[in-house]
Amino acid sequence: MSARQDILDAIRARRRGELRRPQTYRPPSPASDPLSLFVDKARAADTEVRILESEKDIPAAVAELLRARNQAARVHLPPLSDLRAVDWRLEVEAAPPGPDDAAVTRAPLAIAETGTLVQPSGDASPASWHFRPGLEIAILHARDIVAHLEDALARLGRLPGTVNLITGPSRTGDIEQTLELGAHGPKALAVIVVRD
C-alpha cells in the first residue's frame, strides 16, 4: 500500500454521504406586467424605447429614430439577419457598422427585472454588431420579455459562443470618474418593442 492510497482511503472513510444539491433560489417575479417593468428599467438606463402594435410599423419607427438624431437614412443589418427581407425604404448596408452608423438588430430575449437585452451571438447576430455602431436599434417582441436572467438562460437552452447582456448605451466612468458614453460600444441604444 502506498502513502497516496492511505490518504485516499482516509478521505473516503470520512465521507458523510452524498452532498445534497442546494435548493435553487428564485426571487419573486418582479411585476405582473413584464413589458411595463422592462420599459421602466430600460429608460432608467438611458435606452429609448418605442412600442409598436405590429412589425409592419418598424421601418417608419426606425426612420423616425434616425431623423430625430439627425442621422443619415441608412441602416446596417447583419448579412444573415431575417430583417434583410423588410422593405426599409432606407438605404441598407451589409457591411459592419462604424461609430457614426446605425445598426438594426433583433433581440431574441430581454430581462424585465433590469431592462436588459439578451443578445446571443450567431450567424444572424454577430457579437461585433453590438459594439461598433454609434446607435444600435434592437427589435424585440413583447412575448420575449422574461422576468429574470435565469428565465432567459433557460429559454436560450444550449449557450452559444457569446451572450451579450446589454443594459443601456455603453458607458464607463474610469477616466477621472467622468461618465463617458460610447466608450466600448454604442453611444445610444433604442429598443422597438412589438406587441404582436
Q: Structural domains in the chain? A: 31-194 (3.40.50.10420)
In angstroms, the first-to-last Cα distance of the chain is 71
Residue 110 to residue 35: CA distance in whole angstroms: 10
Nearest-CA neighbor of 82 among 102, 105, 101?
105
Which region among 14-18, 42-46, 163-167, 192-196 has the lowest average model confidence (pLDDT)? Answer: 14-18
List the 135-141 sheet strands across, edge first: 47-52, 188-194, 135-141, 102-106, 74-76, 91-93
Secondary structure of residue 65 in the 3-state scheme:
helix
- The predicted-structure confidence for 91-103, as pLDDT tens digits, reads as follows 999 899 999 999 9
Residues 107-143 have pLDDT tens digits of 999 999 999 999 999 888 888 888 889 999 999 999 9
Extract the C-alpha cell encoding 121: 451571438
Q: Which band of pLDDT confidence, cut at 50, 70 and 90, is reported for residue 170?
A: confident
* Phi, then psi, of 127 in degrees rounded to 5: -60, -35
- Work out the number of other CB atoms within 10 angstroms of the CB of residue 65: 20
The three grid cell numbers given for residue 139, joined into one nine-digit string: 427589435
Q: Under a CB-based contact definition with an 8 Å cutoff, are residues 59 and 88 in contact? A: yes
Q: pTM of the entire structure?
A: 0.83
